[in-house]
Structure 1
Amino acid sequence: MVKLSVPGIPKALPTLSKAPLIPLAQAVERITEFLSPGNALVLTGAGVSVDSGIRAYRGHDGRYLNPNYKPIFYQELVDPSPTGHLFRQRYWSRSYLGYPPVRDAIPNPIHYSIAALQYGKYCSSVITQNVDGLHKKASPTEDMRRRILELHGTLFTVHCKHGHMFGRDGYQVRLEDLNPTWKPLADKVGQELRTNPDGDVEVIGMDFGTFNIPSCEQCENDGITMTIIKPDVTFFGESIREPVKDESYHLVEEASRLLIIGTTMATYSAFRLIRHAVELDKPIILLNVGPTRADTLEAVEKIELPAGDVIRAVARALCGPKAQTDPVMRTLLTSGVVRAVKTGDRGAG
């Protein structure tokens, strides 16, 4: 039996980052200078979506905010046995409750500031570990959206094991229709029940075995009775698709520098991109509060400040003059809603 574990920050790292604290104005000046040549790649994690009301996995000390967090692994989700079906019932019941808050989340000033940097040609591309789609919501053009790589996929599409793809919104309606007894719980999400970055909600006292999972309609039309449905996201224990992996390396290689925002890089899929950038001698700045997996890499310059105020000020410094004549830029620099989260829910990716 293969032993599976949730990725985390290596235990050898200190529990608190040793990056020297610098004033906000100095951080803004440094990152503005860093991005001014253009052609930067921005890599983001769950920390950039916290101001949109989506709780991060980890707090400022690098530990999971929910110490009892037990995600479902890919091997469990796709197990064709009755045990696997129970895992799928657990996943889809919790995701049924957690998807609407992610679906309805609004980009915050960090998302719009990064979009402004991309629109102003200071940032060439964005790689995000987030599956919430907020970077794309903040992007004003289709060309910019094509330059956003969702490293771990997206919650907004679903597929079955036979490759049939369909939208999550329609599947959400089917989940609701088949599970009316679960609907009252939806009103508690965001209050008694909290949503994780992947749309998962911790539910206590409900029998997952009563949850009905809709089948793939196209499989039904083709006479296929046994199928397994999963969201188009990379689960723990699942490999990133080779085209996505190749594209992520390509974006690192074509960029002249790398700015990392709001992530601990606990997942190796992100950390290996940093290592690749180091091997290519790319300048790297990491903006994050708390310890990260990259803290031992001497080539990475770390700034330990919350991203919100820093990135918005950087975007205004670099893109502000263009906003005087460009209404799109002006909108990007003045958009974004900050949704308060409970104390202790803030953190890094």
Structure 2
Amino acid sequence: MRISVPTIPQAILSAATSAAQSISPSAAVERIASFLAPGNVATITGAGVSVDSGIRAYRGVKGRYLNPNYKLRSYLGYTPVRDALPNTTHYALAALQYSGIIPKLITQNVDGLHQKALSSVWNTAYKQERILELHGSLHKVHCSHGHVIDRATFQDRLSAANPEWKTYMDELEATGQRPRTNPDGDVELEGVAYDSFRVPECPTCLAENRHNSILKPELIFFGESIRQDVKDRSYADIEHCSGLFLVGTTLATYSAFRLLRHALELKKPVLMLNIGPTRADPLPGLEKIEMSSRIVMRDAVRAVLGSRVDDDPIIERMLRSGVVQPPSEDD
């Protein structure tokens, strides 16, 4: 089966110029704050939001995607994603979620970092209600018959079935030499033979007298469609919002791009914060600020919430939290 990796149409890339509209950080903060201030703003985030957590983007200025063999590479790449910490943008958005400015957040990311940023204030059920993972989660695995397995448990089973690869991964951990990691936990390896890697069978299938070693992370791979219930919920979140805020996404995948188009069709105000060309750039009705969210989001949240920042220790802590650890140029 031939699968095309979603990307920005070449016509848009060819028309893009480096002469983006000039705006100062202070003006960007003011504009973002005024956009968010009325509240009830739905938000869509992409891989660019997680770059400061050390997870490289697929696309954009430095994004790439290569994937000749997912199963081994996902085994090795899961640990860096599992250990990644929310960055300043995650916590700024968490403060807006906690304060009710952003009632619903839709993320294309599968790293669970938005949930981590809210783990001290919201339980799992409430986070699932307020955060929609459009493309699934890397932290769960399911077999071809739908049996779900916790990812940590599955990683342990993979380690037991592949002791030589567990040793190799431990050596990487000990030296700090982690391979380059993509947002879905896939890593880039060269000169590696995959034939010896074994995937253990689903224990639930075995209990049902069925042999089944076809398992995958519970996320949407390129070429697959999102579930109908997820699609319906994403559309409902757009329909019930007063405005749409897009952060760190090129909107190359249609599942997110169509949500923007739906918002524009409904005459919702739309503001994008992103660096570099996006699939949405030619669309009328889209307002875009080309700037790193790291530079402006904390100050924008402070401008929106005003005295609430000082009065609420949870918000104040969120706006002091977050790592800034972008991946190195040569990782």
Is 1:96 the equivalent of 2:58? no
Give, as a single letter, the amino acid of the residue that structure 1 aligns with 2:150.
G
Give, as a single letter, the amino acid of the residue that structure 1 aligns with 2:8.
I
Give, as a single letter, the amino acid of the residue that structure 1 aligns with 2:112.
G
Structure 2 residue aligned with 1:76: none
Map 1:1-349 onto structure 2 (within 5 A): 3-15=2-14, 16-17=16-17, 19-60=20-61, 65-66=63-64, 69-71=65-67, 90-139=69-118, 140-142=121-123, 143-186=126-169, 187-188=171-172, 191=177, 193-343=179-329
Q: What's the CA shift for 1:41?
A: 0.5
Give, as a single letter, the amino acid of the residue that structure 1 aligns with 2:197.
F
Tell me how far apart the structure 2 counterparts of residues 148 and 228 of structure 1 sit (CA, whole Å).
28
RMSD: 1.7
Contact kept in structure 2, 1:118 and 1:144, CA below 8 Å: no
Q: What's the CA shift for 1:21?
A: 2.1
Per-residue CA deviation, residues 132-163 of structure 1 (Å, 9 max, x unaligned), is: 00001111213344210000000011111111
Tell me how far apart the structure 1 counterparts of residues 177 and 107 of structure 2 sit (CA, whole Å).
27
Per-residue CA deviation, residues 305-331 of structure 1 (Å, 9 max, x unaligned), is: 011121111112222411322221121
Contact kept in structure 1, 2:107 and 2:131, CA below 8 Å: yes
Tell me how far apart the structure 1 counterparts of residues 161 and 2 of structure 2 sit (CA, whole Å).
35
Tell me how far apart the structure 1 counterparts of residues 67 and 192 of structure 2 sit (CA, whole Å).
17
Tell me how far apart the structure 1 counterparts of residues 282 and 186 of structure 2 sit (CA, whole Å).
31
Contact kept in structure 1, 2:134 and 2:230, CA below 8 Å: yes
Q: Is the partner of 1:14 in helix, strand or coil?
A: helix
Tell me how far apart the structure 1 counterparts of residues 330 and 271 of structure 2 sit (CA, whole Å).
26
| 23-32 vs 137-146, greater mean Cα deviation | 137-146
Count of residues in correspondence between the two structures: 322
Tell me how far apart the structure 2 counterparts of residues 340 and 152 of structure 1 sit (CA, whole Å).
23
Per-residue CA deviation, residues 20-42 of structure 1 (Å, 9 max, x unaligned), is: 12111001000100000000011
- Normalising by the residue count of structure 2, what TM-score does the alignment of the two structures yield? 0.93
Give, as a single letter, the amino acid of the residue that structure 1 aligns with 2:227.
R
Give, as a single letter, the amino acid of the residue that structure 1 aligns with 2:102.
C
Give, as a single letter, the amino acid of the residue that structure 2 aligns with 1:14.
L
Contact kept in structure 2, 1:27 and 1:303, CA below 8 Å: yes
Tell me how far apart the structure 2 counterparts of residues 158 and 48 of structure 1 sit (CA, whole Å).
24
Q: Is the partner of 2:12 in helix, strand or coil?
A: coil
Tell me how far apart the structure 2 counterparts of residues 259 and 314 of structure 1 sit (CA, whole Å).
13
Tell me how far apart the structure 2 counterparts of residues 37 and 185 of structure 1 sit (CA, whole Å).
52
Contact kept in structure 1, 2:206 and 2:212, CA below 8 Å: no
- Identify unmatched segments of 5+ residues in structure 2: none
Moved over 4 A (4+): none
Q: Is the partner of 1:277 in helix, strand or coil?
A: helix
Contact kept in structure 2, 1:219 and 1:227, CA below 8 Å: no
Per-residue CA deviation, residues 187-240 of structure 1 (Å, 9 max, x unaligned), is: 437736110000001112221110010110011111001352111100011000
| 276-285 vs 117-126, greater mean Cα deviation | 117-126
Contact kept in structure 2, 1:119 and 1:144, CA below 8 Å: no
Tell me how far apart the structure 1 counterparts of residues 143 and 241 of structure 2 sit (CA, whole Å).
35
Give, as a single letter, the amino acid of the residue that structure 2 aligns with 1:56.
A
Tell me how far apart the structure 2 counterparts of residues 283 and 344 of structure 1 sit (CA, whole Å).
39
